[in-house]
Amino acid sequence: MIEMMVPGEDAEIGVRVYKTSSPPLTGRIKARLEDFAVKEKISPQLLASLRRLRSPTHRIQVYCAVRVGVDTLTLARIINFHSRIPRSRLRFLGLKDSRAVSSQIFSVVDGRKVPESIGGLSLLGWSEKIPSKESLMGNDFSVFIRNFEVSSQDVSNRLSRFIEELNVESLPNFYGYQRFGTYRRITHLVGKKIVTGEFKEAVMLYLTYTTPYEPEETRGWRKSLRDTGDLEGALKSAPKPLFYERKMLRELVKRPESYLKAIRSLPITLRRLFVNAFQSYLFNLVLSRRIREDMPITEPVIGDFVYDPIGSKIMRHRQRDRDSHHLMVAIPLFGYGYRSSEGRQGDIERDVLKEAAVTTRSFFVKEMHELSGKGGFRKADLDLDKLLFTHDIESNVVCSSFTLQRGQYATILLRELIKPSNPLQQGF
């Protein structure tokens, strides 16, 4: 574990340590939209199973969407607006951030075709079954880093130092910044309020929490609503981009105190993200503490859960397990189906739960069963593949390309390299 000060924004999402000791590269990602590109890697089996024409057995449309500056939830809204296909009939394999060039797969469980007027979409074919998340093998990334605070020579030296560390050190598999929001890192805070049954507080937090990174008009609107509680006035004056806030407010104006209905007015994907983000925050805290206590993230210790890729199963690591080089450390995600680790790892999990003032039973949300979080397991270290860095010394721009498995975050790799002092200002 590397003793290095992390910025407050990292600590707020549970990421409280660095694994590498290389000096900060500095710089910024996403200075331009085209600086961050992500493309989903789809299993060859899915692609081979698609048919060119619809048939009685192949009724599911599978599309590829290449969009610039459009996140997944907004893309679903655009498709719904132009085609009237219900959002519940659109199935995405992963969520993508708006500040990127994204290439992603989605399927349509509906007889209507998506209009060609929506740019960036191409029909790959017709499927017999709805593609599952297992069809997503991972993501390919291409990222440019620019606007460094140090000289081109320093960038080269620091980049070399970082690469040397990666040759001997694995990086932690933290949940990345975008899991918790873009300009407001609040999804996990709303999720905790839902888990603890504080639905009014969850709604008002979503409506009124603001940061200096939001537009001035939006900040003023949220502050006014917080200070006055004027729901009707807030609905009339809500800035245009606040689509989901308006949906909540319409429900509250129609039925005051109907906080559950206000939450349910949001798309199910967004609602589930709240609870998932709180689980992610707790996972980050657990993994941070494991690293801080100098416990390995690639080698299991007694009491850990491990993933055995040979048998594709999760099991406890016992002292009698001699041949363990192929086993991967698996850290539990808290939920109503949580299974506690033993030994030092189990102590860490109990401490984090106690400090968060929740129980695993809390994740069964009886008022909204669809938001309940069962929990599960997540690998402790990143699966980094095909990593390549190039540095244009004259322009002092670094380009990186790499592949990560499904559910892993490019910003976690880039965070260890750049070590941003102000993550939001530096594109994270």
Query: Using alpha carbons only, how large is the chain's radius of gyration in Å?
Result: 22
Query: At 125, phi and psi to the nearest 5?
Result: 155, -170
Exposure on the CB side of residue 316, measured as CA atoms within 13 A? 12
Q: How would DSSP label each residue in 77-129?
A: HHHHHHH---GGGEEESS---SSSEEEEEEEE-SSSPPPTTSTTEEEEEEESS
Alpha carbons 7 and 266: distance in angstroms, whole number: 32
Beta bridge partners of 28: 146
Assess whether 97 carries a catalytic annotation. yes
Residue 164 makes CB contacts below 8 A (sequence gap 6+) with none
Give the burial string for 386-408 (b: 16+ CB within 10 Å, else e): eeebebeeeebbbebebbbbbeb
Residue 25 makes CB contacts below 8 A (sequence gap 6+) with 145, 148, 150, 155, 158, 159, 162, 398, 417, 418, 419
Residue of 97, 294, 308, 351 marked catalytic: 97
Q: Return the axis-axis angle of helices 410-418 and 152-166, rounded to nearest 10°.
A: 120
Q: Yes or no: say if 62 and 125 are a contact pair by the CB < 8 Å rule.
A: yes
Maximal CA-CA distance, the chain: 67
Q: Of how many residues is the chain composed?
A: 428
Q: Yes or no: say if 107 and 63 are a contact pair by the CB < 8 Å rule.
A: yes
Alpha carbons 137 and 178: distance in angstroms, whole number: 20
Alpha carbons 228 and 23: distance in angstroms, whole number: 47
Query: What positions carry a catalytic annotation?
Result: 97
